[in-house]
Amino acid sequence: MSAAEIFQHARDVFAIGAMAVGLVFVIAGATGVMRLPDFYTRMHAAGVTDTLGAELIIVGLIAQAGDWQTAAKLALVGLLLFLTSPTATHAIANAAHRSGLKPDLSHFKPKHPADAASSEGPK
């Protein structure tokens, strides 16, 4: 096996690995947006995973791109997403906060000690 073939295989393995990890992030973010209880937690799931997942998939595509023009255009799209995605998430969070939307804290309210003792006591 020549050095060029080894380089080709290493490039393919790197591309598939980066795209697989990015896909895991994207699917996890989508699942979080569907299942989490209120707006701010959903925004956390979408905003954090979108940037990293998109960048990893684009890095994988750059690694297996044929010519340098394709790679340059992909890098440009990656740079744009890297700048605009957190900015848009921040703008949405700022707008929601300014409009008076409160986080849903009903799932995390501590129980009163008397209620906790009575509910956990022997029946």
Partner 1 sequence: MHFLIFLVAIGVAVAMAIMLARLFAGPTLYDRVLAANSFGTKTVLFLLVFAALVGRQDAIDIALLYALINFVATIAILKFFRYRSLEIALAQMSLRKALDGEYEK
Which residues lie near partner 1 (CB under 8 A)?
Answer: 12, 16, 19-20, 23, 26-27, 29-31, 33-34, 39, 42-43, 46-47, 50, 53-54, 57-58, 60-61, 64-65, 69-70, 73-74, 76-77, 80-81, 84-85, 87-89, 91-92, 95-96, 98-99, 101
The two three-digit tokens of residue 70, written as one number: 């394709």
Residue 10 or 76 with smaller CB distance to partner 1: 76
Which residue, among 21, 47, 20, has the nearest Cα to 33 in the 3D structure? 47
Question: Is-contact 58 26, C-beta < 8 A?
Answer: no
Q: How far is the CB of 122 from partner 1 (least distance, A)?
A: 40
Q: How far is the CB of 3 from partner 1 (least distance, A)?
A: 20
Residue 17 or 118 with smaller CB distance to partner 1: 17
Residue 17 or 117 with smaller CB distance to partner 1: 17
Q: How far is the CB of 106 from partner 1 (least distance, A)?
A: 14
Query: With b meaning 16 or more CB within 10 Å and e meaning fewer, what string describes 3-41?
Result: eeeeeeeeeeeebeebbebbeebbeebeebbeebeeeeb
Question: Is-contact 45 32, C-beta < 8 A?
Answer: yes
